[in-house]
């Protein structure tokens, strides 16, 4: 009988680990491809950041942490993307997969990381303290067809060459400028993941389906996917240095959509992104999708808190506030981990939490509320409104963004 152990991986586990990933994702274009690419390219990948459950010495479940700087409402902090969560098909529903997720979050906390971000199965992750806080935003702009015959074949639609739309494929020489635009315009929201100008982070892996385009003067760029089933040009990332550039970029994107026979452009951008705002002024619809699969797990509270606050976590979380050093401290909020994470990540504000009718405003926070509820005192509402305004949490994947 082989014993079960939980541990970090060693480099010598990598062949068996790859077999495990292969058992779950046989297609090398899926997660297996991410693993191979990370091993080959990511200098920060350390074996011990892959948490395993082994039977004997054989890994049967794994979760990988890709250590990154991640944004909180207070600024950049150490965190991770949690990814490649899998259990061998012969060993599922025995708690192994879950144990590696728990082990990864504990490992991240020991390393001083403040949060993990990821997209995952909505039913699986809440049990580990992961909270859906990453909503979806989609701006939908209709594209009038080009006069004359539209391209009719798939080959025409996927034609990699660019037309006279003012855009061109980005090259390595463009990456420092693109990366700067990314830092200034894209990775500014809570849950954004830092990306450098290193070419491996920007590589477009399947160019039949994706492209990284730039304006020739480098003042705007877009990462796009050709959504042939939905007949849309899906813009997954776009940034422009100013309004006039945003106009040129949007004109280029709609021109490329039209030229390829797509009848709409979908912008998966924050609603305050200049390109999305312009599209809205041009008549686009905007859709908001509440968070479901986009998760954050907070592993340390302090980097999420404005000065003067601290969290004490027990069965419930208590948020304390002290207006000046050495002054009296008072409890301003008592909440479950879920609502507190929603508040700190800027997904909901205190009024949303109360509106959801799971909260109470009372003179003194009591001990008797069931988990998940929110309790604050009338006098603290304005303080919480001022210090925890609603934000736009948005995950900017690095480097996975360019994979699927
Ligand atoms: C998800 C996965 C890692 C879970 O591994 P596991 O060892 O079976 O997990 P555990 O035994 O710890 O937990 C099983 C629980 O998770 C639930 N679960 C797992 N995958 C689920 C899914 N896709 N949808 C809904 N529930 C799921 C099971 O129903 C079970 O719930 P229960 O305990 O309430 O019955 C495994 O099923 C797997 O490798 N799946 C394929 C890869 C994958 O989907 N990875 C996650 C990508 S986000």
**C-alpha closest to that of 165 among 227, 98, 222:** 222
| Adjacency order of strands within the sheet including 136-142 | 168-169, 210-214, 220-227, 232-240, 264-267, 136-142, 285-289
- Closest residue to atom 1 of ligand 1, CA basis: 86
CA of 217 to the centre of ligand 1 (A): 47
CA of 288 to the centre of ligand 1 (A): 28
> Does residue 365 register a pLDDT over 80?
no
> Does residue 156 register a pLDDT over 60?
no
> Does residue 159 register a pLDDT over 50?
no
Q: Provide residues with CB under 6 Å of ligand 1.
A: 24, 61, 85-87, 92-98, 120-121, 123-124
Token pair for residue 25? 């994702």
Rounded CA separation 187/200 (Å): 18
For 9-65, the pLDDT digits (tens) are 999 999 999 999 999 999 887 889 899 999 999 999 999 999 999 999 999 999 999
In Å, how far are 23, 30, 34, 87, 208 from 27, measured between CA atoms?
A: 10, 5, 11, 16, 17
H or E element in which residue 157 lies: helix 154-157
- Closest residue to atom 48 of ligand 1, CA basis: 120
Q: Among 19, 34, 83, 93, which residue has the most ligand 1 atoms within 8 Å of its CB, making it the best to mutate?
A: 93
- Closest residue to atom 3 of ligand 1, CA basis: 86
Q: Which residue has the tokens 């892959």?
A: 50
CA of 120 to the centre of ligand 1 (A): 10
pLDDT band at 387 (very low <50, low <70, confident <90, very high): very high
Equal CATH topology for 4-132 and 136-289? yes
CA of 63 to the centre of ligand 1 (A): 12
- Ligand 1 atom with minimal separation from the 118 CA: 48
Homologous superfamily assigned to 136-289: Gcn5-related N-acetyltransferase (GNAT) (3.40.630.30)
pLDDT band at 362 (very low <50, low <70, confident <90, very high): low
- Closest residue to atom 41 of ligand 1, CA basis: 86
Q: How many Cα neighbours within 13 Å face the side chain of 85?
A: 22
- Give the end-to-end CA distance of the chain in Å, rounded to a whole number: 40
Q: Among 124, 134, 295, 297, which residue has the most ligand 1 atoms within 8 Å of its CB, making it the best to mutate?
A: 124
Supply the pTM of this predicted model: 0.93
Residue 94's pLDDT is 98
Residue 174's pLDDT is 97
CA of 95 to the centre of ligand 1 (A): 9
For 68-100, the pLDDT digits (tens) are 999 999 999 999 999 999 999 999 999 999 999
> Does residue 404 register a pLDDT over 60?
no
Length, in residues, of the chain: 404
At 231 the three-state DSSP class reads: coil
CA of 122 to the centre of ligand 1 (A): 10
CA of 35 to the centre of ligand 1 (A): 20
Rounded CA separation 340/12 (Å): 40
User: Which bin fits 28, alpha (ψ -120 to 50), beta or left (φ > 0)?
Assistant: alpha
Contacts of residue 84, Cβ cutoff 8 Å, sequence gap at least 6: 21, 31, 34, 35, 50, 62, 63, 64
Q: Among 87, 89, 130, which residue has the most ligand 1 atoms within 8 Å of its CB, making it the best to mutate?
A: 87
In the chain, where the domains are located: 4-132, 136-289, 305-387
Q: Among 84, 89, 97, 295, which residue has the most ligand 1 atoms within 8 Å of its CB, making it the best to mutate?
A: 97
Q: What is the DSSP letter of 404?
A: -
User: Which bin fits 376, alpha (ψ -120 to 50), beta or left (φ > 0)?
Assistant: beta
CATH topology of domain 4-132: Aminopeptidase (3.40.630)
Using a 10 angstrom Cβ sphere, with 0-12 exposed, 13-18 middle and 19 or more buried, the burial of residue 317 is: buried
> Does residue 403 register a pLDDT over 90?
no
Residue 298's pLDDT is 98
pLDDT band at 359 (very low <50, low <70, confident <90, very high): low
The radius of gyration computed from the CA coordinates of the chain, to the nearest angstrom, equals: 23
270 with 137: CB under 8 angstroms? yes
156 with 256: CB under 8 angstroms? no
Q: What is the DSSP letter of 346?
A: T
């Amino acid at each position: 009988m082989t014993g079960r152990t939980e541990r970090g991986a060693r480099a010598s586990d990598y062949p068996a680990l790859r077999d495990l990933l292969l058992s779950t994702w046989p297609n090398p274009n899926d997660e297996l491809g991410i693993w191979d690419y990370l091993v080959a390219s990511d200098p920060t990948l350390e074996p011990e950041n892959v948490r395993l459950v082994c039977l004997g010495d054989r890994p049967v479940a794994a979760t990988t942490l890709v250590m990154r700087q991640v944004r909180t409402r207070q600024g950049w902090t150490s965190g991770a993307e949690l990814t490649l969560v899998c259990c061998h098909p012969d060993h599922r529903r025995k708690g192994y997969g879950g144990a590696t997720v728990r082990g990864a979050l504990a490992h991240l906390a020991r390393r001083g990381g403040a949060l993990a971000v990821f997209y995952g199965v909505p039913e699986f992750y809440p049990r580990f303290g992961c909270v859906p806080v990453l909503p979806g935003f989609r701006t939908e702009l209709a594209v009038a067809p080009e006069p004359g015959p539209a391209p009719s074949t798939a080959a025409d639609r996927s034609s990699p060459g660019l037309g006279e739309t003012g855009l061109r494929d980005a090259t390595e020489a463009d990456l420092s400028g693109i990366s700067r635009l990314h830092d200034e315009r894209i990775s500014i929201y809570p849950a954004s993941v830092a990306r450098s100008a290193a070419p491996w982070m920007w590589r477009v892996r399947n160019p039949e389906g994706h492209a990284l385009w730039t304006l020739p003067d480098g003042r705007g760029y877009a990462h796009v996917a050709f959504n042939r089933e939905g007949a849309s040009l899906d813009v997954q990332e776009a940034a422009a240095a100013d309004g006039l550039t945003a106009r040129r970029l949007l004109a280029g994107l709609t021109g490329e959509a039209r030229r390829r026979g797509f009848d709409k452009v979908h912008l998966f951008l924050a609603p305050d992104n200049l390109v999305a705002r312009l599209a809205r002024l041009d008549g686009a619809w905007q859709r908001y999708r509440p968070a479901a699969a986009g998760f954050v797990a907070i592993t340390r509270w302090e980097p999420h808190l404005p000065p003067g606050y601290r969290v004490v976590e027990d069965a419930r979380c208590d948020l304390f506030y002290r207006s000046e050093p050495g002054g009296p401290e008072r409890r301003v909020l008592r909440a479950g981990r879920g609502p507190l994470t929603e508040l700190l990540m800027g997904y909901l504000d205190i009024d949303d939490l109360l509106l959801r009718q799971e909260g109470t405003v009372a003179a003194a926070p009591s001990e008797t509320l069931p988990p998940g509820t929110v309790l604050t005192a009338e006098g603290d509402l304005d303080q919480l409104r001022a210090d925890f305004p609603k934000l736009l949490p948005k995950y900017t994947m690095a480097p996975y963004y360019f994979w699927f």
